[in-house]
Amino acid sequence: MRHCKGTVERLKEGWTLGPKSETEKKSPYLVSWDNLDKEVREWNLEFAKDIFEISKRVGLRATE
């Protein structure tokens, strides 16, 4: 879900699909989760796990 939310946020900010370029607001990752390369999906999952662990360590918790 986080990937989907991030994609929508970027699109609202004017980003478009294309070769990665911060100055041109282009990203190759503005695709559905299923269309991401396996390597990119795994990186996203590891990032999410790290954020969860760090949040727990500092006493934060997820809410609905």
What value does the mean pLDDT take over residues 14-36?
95
Contacts with 37 (C-beta within 8 Å, 6 or more apart), sequence order = none
Answer whether residue 26 is part of any domain.
yes
- Name the H helices within the chain: 2-12, 38-57
Answer whether residue 13 is part of any domain.
yes
Band the pLDDT of 64: cuts 50, 70, 90: low
Kindly report, residue by residue over 8-19, the tens digit of the pLDDT. 999 999 999 999
Answer whether residue 52 is part of any domain.
yes
| Residue 15 lies in domain | 2-57
Number of domains in the chain: 1
